[in-house]
Each structure stands twice: as structure tokens, then as C-alpha cells.
Structure 1
Amino acid sequence: MKVKGIIMLALVSFIWGTSFVAQSLGADMLPPFTFNGVRCIIGGIALLPCIWFLDRSDRKGERPKANYRRKDLLIGGLACGIVLFVASTLQQIGIRYTTAGKTGFITAFYIVFVPVICFFMKKQTGLQIWLAVGLAFVGLYFLCVSEEFVLAKEDMILFLSALVYAVHIMVIDHFTMKAPGVKMSCLQFFVAGGLSLPVILFSESPKLSTFVPAIGPLLYAGVLSCGVAYTLQIIGQRYVKATVASLILSMEACFSVLAGWLVLKEYLSPKELLGCLLMFGAILIAQVQLPSKAKVVELEGEEVS
């Protein structure tokens, strides 16, 4: 069963990584709020059949019935949707000016931001995490800073997007035990899509003809990246420990670079490639579970005996 979970999570990271290509293509065809709004609504619709299937299984007694308060589901979906709206909008604006590979790696910086947020929330943060943060900042420097030592505007936008995505992860962590994940995800997509509608109607005003060439990227980013990938993640993590799952999912950054190279013919300089490697190394360091002191003492005692 563990192999089954690993395969599912690897597929999730592949979908999320390659979706940066769909976003990059979509950014050339549609304004950012239009692409994200339609994408989120498609993602919410894609999850409706999954919710129906799960509810049907609950009614038949095939699964343990989940106990939750509707209030927690509504608050969680609303909070996640608002934060997702901000994060995805910043990302979609930033990706218009840079490559899919760089977007993937800078977005992956959320994995390091999360423990930093935990520190300010007075949760324990070890030396291992600070090492990862420092290494990631060096990698970000090589990846994004020009010869004049100034971060490009688009990279700063993506940097802020990664920070908001870290907040999104913390919000989900708060509500994940209070509401069913698939339903909360579906609700957050409809909230994020709904928040985009006023800007779409009164500011961007896209024509119907502009949607025709963007159908492919919209469906990939909506159905696969939002709907299918999220569902596979939930199922896959039933069989794999959280630390292992996060490592597998962080491979989305590598898939984004590979997809950008294969599909968009994008090129990264040696300096940028070094930055990518350092950031990926930071992601790995942040996710590796080191044994506690108590565990080390226990193991040493067993060796002595």
C-alpha cells in the first residue's frame, strides 16, 4: 500500500509542476484575474463528482461517517479561498514576466516559509530549519538577482506569492481536522473564483473569443492541478507518512523546470541552475526528520546493551 501512496503523490507533484507551463501559456492568452478565476471555478466543479461519490459511500456505510460542524467547513473554506485568491493572483501576475521553471522554484520557497511562520507563532523551530532558510536565500539570490544586485519586479511578486502560499498552508493546517478536506477544497475554489469575478467583469472584460485558444491551459490548470491533484494528495497521504509525502510533493519544482525546458524551450543559465539546486537542497533539509535527543539516547542505550 505504501508504494501505491508514493505513486499517487509523485503524480500529484508531476501535475503541479507541469501546471506552471499551463499557467505560463495561459498568461499569454488571458489576463491574470480571468485565468485564475475561471481556473478555480473549473477546479471547484471538478471536485463536485468526487464529493457526491464520497457522500454516497458515507450513506452506504462504506466509510466511517465524518463528524464536523458546518460552521467550521464554511469558515475554513472562506478563509482558505481568500488566501488562495491572493496567492494565486500574485503568482499568475509574476509568471507573465518570467519562466515556468523559475516560478516553480520560487513558489516552492513556501516549504521553508512555513517553519519561519511557526517560529513567529512561538512554535519550536530547530537549527536545521534555520540552515534551510539560509541556504534557500542564497539559492534565491543566484536564481533571481541580476548583476546590479537588485531583485527583478516579477521575482519579488513571486516571492510574495510564496509567502502567501505559506499562510495558506497554515490556514489549512488549522482547519484540516475540523472539516472534510475535499469539501473545504471545493468551497475554497469557488470562493477564490468568485473574488475574481468583479475584477474580470469591470476591469479585464475579456472577450469570449480569447477563451478559445486558452481552453487547454484552463482545463489542465483547473481540472488536473486543482481537482485531480488535490484528491490524489488526500488519498495518497493515507498510505505515506507526512514527512515522506512532503518530500515527494516538493518535487513539483523539478518537474516545473523539466516541463519548461521540454515544452516551452526555456533556458536557465549556470548561475540560475545553481540557485535551483541550492533551493531544492534547502527544501530537502527543511523536510528531513532528524531523530530527537531522547530517541538518540534510547538508540545508544540499545547499542550498549
Structure 2
Amino acid sequence: MAKPRHLKSNLLLLLTACIWGFAFVAQREGMEHLGPFTFNAARFALGALSLVPLILWLDGRSGRSSDERGKEYKRGASAGIWAGIILFGGSSLQQIGLLYTTAGKAAFVTGLYIVIVPFLGLFLKQRLNLNNWAGALLAIAGLYLLCVTNDLSLNRGDLYELAGAFLWSLHILMIDKLSRTTDGLKLSLFQIVTCAVLSLIAALASETIRLADLSNALIPLLYGGICSVGIAYTLQIIGQQKAHPTQAAIILSMEAVFAAVGGYLILNELLGVRGVLGCLLMLAGMLLPQLPPNRDWRLARDTKGHQPLP
């Protein structure tokens, strides 16, 4: 049975996955009134504003000198700009894709980053295990059932989401490297600000921004900005402090399930039998690489009093 602190952490991560899953619904609803770049510019700006009070509060409690805090902000800005450029690419492709596909499908295709990351890690000389290969095969089979039409083609929205999944994978690898030498919240703040600025530039160049449209999309913007970016990110940090990394990854991957449920309940999106089967295969493909490889299972068994395996 999970310890109380681990149970609390898991519940916080599950709430995070729920917020992120329903954010796909908010993102799709928001584009009834706004273009994808305008929506992203507004929601990331709101997300950045929601993080500022938390960062200032933590700085006040840290006891560090102003010089030390200044150096942290400089490191955060330097790293956050590069991460924000990748974040801009991934979020833009995701938002554009939602113009042409459902919230549930977008979430499941985006979730393929969990499968893609280990394979991109090969370029960093990281090794793959059997779970990675099996998960990739399951995910590909699920993607086929969920997205490929009778003429063996992906629709435009699914292609955008698939391209975005590769950028989300690069983003994860970049954050993994940058976060080792940079304060996590400050890195997050500056990457969000960078994404908001780039989205605004793209919106000014390609879309018409009207206050009336922003007002009509206010609820999706507030949810996508404050809840999805500000609150959920904070909950993720708190939850992962006491949670096992593998459990955290598995729980957060439930984001796709919540997106499918939200799309059904709020947007009346139906997947059909083939789509549901594809979602199940993709979910299995996302979860399998997070489980310990066979050798880890054997070592775990050995530490419980069994005879060592040859």
C-alpha cells in the first residue's frame, strides 16, 4: 500500500494530468474565436503572469542574496530563451493541428513523445531496452487505427500533431539538460515568456487580433493560461518531489485519456470502436517504456530474498 505522502503526490500528479487533458478542449474551444498564434500568445502570457507571484514568494523565503538571485535569473533567461524557441514550435504545431482534428486524437498523438524521447536519446548515446521497442510498435499500431484513413493517409491535423510530438521530445531532452544547472521555475518562466513573444510576433504577421475575439475566448484562455500553464506546472513540481519517477510518468501520461473524456463530454467528439482500440494501443505503448526492463524486474526479485539468478 502506498505511503500517505506518496499517495498525496500521486493524486496531485493525477490532478495535473486531468488539467492538462482538459486543456486540449479549452485550446480547441478557444480557436472558435482566435487564431492559433493569438491564442497561444495570450495563454502563455497569462501563464507567465501566474508564475511571477510564486517565484517572488519562493525568492523571499530562500534567504539568498540579491546577487545570487540575479545570477539565477540570468541563467534562467539564457536557458529559457532556447527552450522557449522549441516550446514555440511544439505549441504552434499542436494549436494549428487542433483546427483539423479532435482534442482526444491530438492528445494521444502528442503523447507519443514518451515513445520518441528514448529513440532521440540514441543520438546522445543512450541505450534502448526491449520495453522501448515494444512500446514503439504498440504506439505505431495504435496511431494507425486512430488516425490513418481508408486511403492510408493521415489528415492534416494529425500530421501537425505528429510533427509537434517530435518537437515536444526535443523540448524534454533540452529541459533535462538545462534544468541541471538552472532553477526550474525561472527556466519555466523565461521559456514561457519567449514562447508568448514569438507567438505574438507570428500572430501580428499572420492573424487579425481583436479585443472582442479575445473577450469571447476569455474562459478557454484563462483555463489554458492560468490552470494549464501556471497551476498544473506548480502541481507537477510539488507532486514529483515525493513521487517515484516511473509512477509520475505513467500518471502524467493519463493526460491523453482525460483529453478524450473531455472531448466526448464537452465537444461531443466520438472516436468509434476503431479509434478507441487505437487509443488503448497507444496508451499501452506510452506506458510500457516507463516500466522497468526485464533486468530491473529480476534485480527487484533478487532483493526480496530469492536466490540470485545466473
With the shorter chain as reference, the TM-score category is over 0.9
Tell me the equivalent position of 1:269.
Answer: 272
Aligned residue among 7, 11, 32 for 2:11: 7
The aligned amino acid for 1:12 is T
Name the SS for the 1:304 alignment partner: coil
Is 1:51 paired with 2:52? no
Report the equivalent of 1:259: 262
SS at match of 2:167: helix
CA distance in 2, matches of 1:40, 1:301: 48
Number of the residue aligned with 1:141: 144
The CA distance in 2 between the partners of 1:51 and 1:125, in whole Å, is: 37
> Any gaps of 5 or more consecutive residues in structure 1?
none
TM-aligned CA distance change 1:103 to 1:294, over 3 Å = closer
2:284 aligned residue: 281
Asked if 2 retains the 8 angstrom alpha-carbon contact of 1:68 and 1:179, the reply is no
1:31 aligned to 2:35? Answer: yes
**Does the 8 Å contact 1:22/1:217 carry over to 2?**
yes
Whether the aligned pair in 1 keeps the contact of 2:13 and 2:240 (CA below 8 Å) is yes
Amino acid at match of 1:135: L
Q: Does 1:209 align with 2:212?
A: yes
Residue 33 of structure 1 aligns with an amino acid whose one-letter code is F
- What do the CA deviations read for 1:160-216 (whole angstroms, capped 9, x no partner)? 011101111111100111111111111111000011122222321211111111000
The CA distance in 2 between the partners of 1:141 and 1:188, in whole Å, is 33
Instruction: Specify whether residues 257 and 289 from structure 1 end up closer, same or farther in structure 2 by C-alpha distance, changes over 3 A only.
Output: same
Question: Per-residue CA shift, 1:11-57, capped at 9, x if unaligned?
Answer: 10000000000001012210010001111111000000100111111
> What RMSD in Å do the two structures reach over aligned CA positions?
2.1
Measure how far apart 1:98 and its partner are.
Answer: 1.0
Q: Describe the shift of the 1:186–1:293 C-alpha distance in structure 2 as closer, same or farther (beyond 3 A).
A: closer
Measured in 1, the distance between the counterparts of 2:171 and 2:266 equals 29
Give the CA deviation at 1:273: 0.8
> Secondary structure at 2:153's aligned position in 1?
coil
Match of 1:93 among 88, 93, 96: 96
Query: SS where residue 106 of structure 2 aligns?
Result: helix
Question: Is 1:79–2:82 an aligned residue pair?
Answer: yes
Matches of 1:149 and 1:160 in 2, distance apart?
18
TM-score by length of 1: 0.94
**Structure 2 residue identity aligned to 1:58:** S
TM-score under structure 2 normalisation? 0.92
Per-residue CA deviation, residues 68-115 of structure 1 (Å, 9 max, x unaligned), is 755532222111110000000000000011111101111111111111
- Partners of 1:247 and 1:287 within 8 A in 2: yes
Q: Describe the shift of the 1:108–1:299 C-alpha distance in structure 2 as closer, same or farther (beyond 3 A).
A: same
Q: Distance in 2 between matches of 1:293 and 1:233?
A: 26
How many residues are treated as equivalent by the alignment?
302
Q: Could you list the per-position Cα deviations for residues 105-150 of structure 1 after superposition, in whole angstroms to 9, with x for gaps in the alignment?
A: 1111111111111123221111210110111011000000000111
- Separation in 2, partners of 1:96, 1:202: 19
